[in-house]
Amino acid sequence: MIHVGVTDEVGLDGVGEDVARFRQGGGGWLGDVVEGAVAGGDLEAGEDGSGVAEDGVGAVVIADEVSAQVAVREAAMGAEGGDVESGGVCGCGGQEEREEGCWPDAAFWGMIHSSSIRAGWFDVKCISSLLVVLGVFGVARAETVPVLVIHGGAGVVKPDMTPERTKAVEAALSRALRDGYAALRAGQPARDAVTAAIRVLEDDPDFNAGRGAVFTHDGHNEMDASIMDGATLQAGAVAGVRHIRNPILLARAVMEHSPHVLLIGDGAEAFARSQEIAMVPVSYFWTQHRWDQLQAALKADRAKGEVHGALPLDRHFGTVGAVALDKAGHLAAGTSTGGLTDKLWGRVGDSPLIGAGTYANAHCAMSGTGWGEYYIRTVAAHEVCMRVSEMGQDVGKAAEDVVDREIPKLGGDGGAIVLDDRGHVAMPFNTDGMYRGWVGADGVPHVAIFR
């Protein structure tokens, strides 16, 4: 039996400089400042910020980030597989009070995941209690319930959505959810689920990615994609490719088989050949629907007497994307797009730019869709995830502040899907609609287009 004692005997002034900074609003990760391996016994925290278990098995001291992470892993190994008897924890961060005996729910609520303990949601009065949570770290190593969230773009125009088109879009979203979630159920990593889901949407002409990519001003199809693994911070991206059937596969190959993050144009396609990524003739991407959209945009250009005059009015931009949480508690995000109808001069938007349209870390993953220039200027995906992981905002609040406030304030619009490592989801958008879907513990695909 591993008994976890919760003590409030240590004052913040004695906990250490880094934790004191948290009190001042800096936010942070308890795992960055605490080193310990509480494998058993009650823990008494001393005024100097250190603590020793009664039976001498474990200890907690202030330390640097690297040694803290090592110690947290040791704590996890010490607790893993043991029964956990636990005490209460104080009310935290303005959230509901956690009563005596609320563990292990409070352990999960405290975000004990992947060799780190998030303190962002906790009020400073909980810091001393959290010092001893290391002893139950093994609890959070239990299998996480996988979650998959996808989008097919926020460039939905209501008059375009005939009953037939709506049915086709919903069917494709459901297929993408099923394929992606099958990977998660099989125990595959989040990056596999993201890749599988996006491939389905890239192969469907109803979405502005891969097969359904829109046309540039010159009548070409130029595609971008990116993927990021939150557990490792590895990332890969491609931009301006014209012959890649599934750009998300090439982005992943960049991540896994090159020393680079972003490859463009001919160079990206040369790399694709070296990796035996499927390539197709440009005719593969020609669809009547997208060609008609370009002709309408060119007509508007001529009417206004200026190049690209349709940009402020053209809402035929779109993107596809996915975010996933796997059984190990790891996150990933990916995005793929054909860009903007009638775009000029090799324009590249936010989708292949890590931090703008795609981002994932250990605690948050986001894929964006919308007017890319504004997602770039706000570094939207990174901004949302920093609000979640470092400021302790919930995903709904973080996504709303950036997608529905910061971006429209500059003149942009769009949407996003955001997922945290507790499985919480946000899907904000400020356009007519956003193709979106999600699947969680019930294993049933849920899809939606309008509000």
| Enzyme catalytic residues | 319
CA distances to 300, 302, 402, 414, 449 from 428, rounded to whole Å, are: 30, 35, 10, 8, 12
Give, in order, the Cα–Cα distances in Å from 131 to each of 82, 369, 437: 19, 40, 39
Q: How far is CA 166 from the centre of its chain?
A: 27
The number of beta carbons lying within 10 Å of the beta carbon of residue 312 is 9
**CA 79/CA 101 separation, integer angstroms:** 18
Distances in Å between the Cα of 31 and the Cα atoms of 65, 69, 81, 297 are 7, 6, 21, 53
Neighbours of 374 (CB within 10 A): 23
Angle, helices 247-257/265-274, rounded to nearest 10 degrees: 70
Q: At what angle do helices 190-202 and 163-185 cross, to 10 degrees?
A: 160
Q: How far apart are CA 424 and CA 147, in angstroms?
A: 9
Residues 451 and 445: their CA atoms lie apart, in Å, by: 17
Looking only at the bridges linking them, the beta strands covering 425-426 and 435-439 are unpaired
